[in-house]
Amino acid sequence: MLHRTEGVVLRTFPFGEADLIVTYITPDLGILKLFAKSPRKIKSRFGSSLEPLTHSRIAFWGKENTPLPRLTQSDIIHSFQSVRNTLSRFLAVSEMLELTINFIPERDANKKSYFLLLNTLKAIEDNSLDNSSVIPLENENLFVSHFKIKFLKFAGFSPKLDACGRCGKNGNNFYISHGSILCETCARGIDYPIRISPAALKLYIDLLTWDISKIRRIKPSNMLLSELSNIINMHIKYILSKPLRCRDFFSFHVNDLTN
Amino acid sequence: MEQNIIEKLINELTKLPGIGRKTAQRLAFFILTMSEEDAKGISKAISEVKEKARFCNECFNITENEVCDICSNTVRDRSKLCVVEEPCNILVIERSKCFNGLYHVLLGALSPIDGMTPEKLKIKELIRRVEKNSLQEIIIATNPNTKGEMTAQYIRDILKPYNIKVTRIAYGLPIGGDIEFADEVTLGKAIEGRREI
Ligand SMILES: [Zn+2]
Ligand SMILES: [Zn+2]
């Protein structure tokens, strides 16, 4: 049976001589893995349409529940070429792609996460094309942080940062193993809290509640943003019981190569 | 239960890329009809390549010696280095007869989502070569896709302190194709990379 939908390419995996397995996120089928015949050949009709981030209209062929239906057509709606053709920017968005692959189930509608990804990519692209941008390139992290926080909410894995997760009292110590703030009484006997500053908490709530179109108005310091993303990243690592692979790239320093 | 010997051969053959079960069956039955000499020739060539093939100490091309034929060839231009992802890329560039310098194989491309970080590639070794030799140009011939492009940019950035000319092979339309069928990204890149004629 022939199916049609649209999707964003999250990842490609070489298969056999010149074939690819392409992982999409789609609004109606969630994560969708498709087999593409020969796209790696220079004259392939798929052209550049299977490169990561490409938003395209796709058609695929396969019986219900075939593990790997065959991609028959892919027409680019938007390439997001300007997002993926700069190393720092592509690194930043890779985290969003990896998070999506890890959390979204296969073949299950997921409109919210789909449009969150698409809108974030658009916002990052608009920001990169806008020379008068208030957000410098390295601060695209703000968009990525916004994505992660909203994404965790849609997936039902938000950390509880506004009050004690057990009794609701105020507190400012976050416990990774509980995914929550715990007040002094409730935290008795539990080790390794991470202190969260009131400013970081406010930033979290802003990012959680504000729409992406307004994000550029928030201008957190790099220190504040990294305080919050640190907590979010540890939370993600705990939920997945592994760090995102992309994090290896960030923890890696050029000096490791040259020394 | 033990596998029938012909079953076993079919199963082994399906491990090759592009060989499905049917093709593997056909090949297996063909091998049965081959002369013993021919069949042994194939199996010997396979085990020899596995025993003797190794990476060149200099460039990570495949060779059976410490240093590959290209690196040890004294006629080649030692001031130019062409950086490729895989050893098989060297074969096709050699066939083009357009390059007479040396190579450096990265053994992969950067891909954050797949955990392919710089230290998993032969980038450190590339820097060593740049430091040790008086090179004039590094030509980056990684694949014209996102992974290849990220790798090219990373190498460009990391080689900046060495003040060496770094070039990237051109993006263009495949020869013999029609502009009509090119997608927007490929065509955009081809227009960007235009030159005066
Ligand atoms: Zn409490
Ligand atoms: Zn060599």
What whole-number distance in Å separates Cα of residue A222 and Cα of residue A84?
Answer: 23
What whole-number distance in Å separates Cα of residue B145 and Cα of residue B163?
Answer: 26
Task: Tell whether A64 lies on the interface with B, counting CB pairs under 8 A.
Answer: no
Q: What pLDDT does residue A139 have? A: 60
Interchain pair A81, B188: CB under 8 A = yes
Q: What pLDDT does residue B31 have? A: 94
The conformation of residue B118, written as its DSSP 8-state character, comes to G
Q: Would you say the C-alpha torsion B179, B184, B186, B192 has a positive or negative sign?
A: positive
**In angstroms, what is the span from residue B69 Cα to ligand 2's centroid?**
7
pTM of model > 0.80: yes
Q: What pLDDT does residue B80 have? A: 97
- Do B5-52 and B75-168 share a fold? no
Q: How is chain B split into domains, by residue range?
A: 5-52, 75-168
The CATH number of the structural domain formed by A2-78 is: 2.40.50.140
Architecture of domain B5-52: Orthogonal Bundle (1.10)
Tell me the pLDDT of chain A (259 aa) as tens digits: 899 999 999 999 988 778 899 999 999 999 999 999 988 887 788 888 999 999 999 999 988 778 899 999 999 999 999 899 888 889 889 999 999 999 999 988 889 999 999 999 999 998 877 655 444 445 678 999 999 999 999 999 999 998 999 999 988 899 999 999 999 999 988 888 999 999 999 999 999 999 988 888 888 898 999 999 999 999 999 999 988 888 877 766 666 666 5
Interchain pair B174, A48: CB under 8 A = no
Neighbours of B157 (CB within 10 A): 13
The tokens 């991609």 sit on which residue?
Answer: A71
DSSP string across A118-175? HHHHHHHHHHHH-TT-SS-GGGGHHHHHHHHHHHHHHHT---EEEEETTT-----EEE
Q: How is chain A split into domains, by residue range?
A: 2-78, 84-258
CA distance A185 to chain B (A): 41
- Are residues A19 and A34 in contact, defined by beta-carbon separation less than 8 angstroms? no
Architecture of domain A84-258: Up-down Bundle (1.20)
Q: What pLDDT does residue A132 have? A: 53
Q: Which residues of chain B have a pLDDT value below 50? A: none
Q: Which residues of B touch A (CB under 8 A)?
A: 17-18, 112-115, 117-119, 123-124, 127, 145-146, 149-150, 153-154, 157-158, 174, 176-177, 181-186, 188
Contact residues, chain B, for A95 at CB < 8 Å: 112
Interchain pair B174, A257: CB under 8 A = no
Task: Tell whether A14 lies on the interface with B, counting CB pairs under 8 A.
Answer: no
The CATH number of the structural domain formed by B75-168 is: 3.40.1360.10
What whole-number distance in Å separates Cα of residue A121 and Cα of residue B56?
Answer: 42
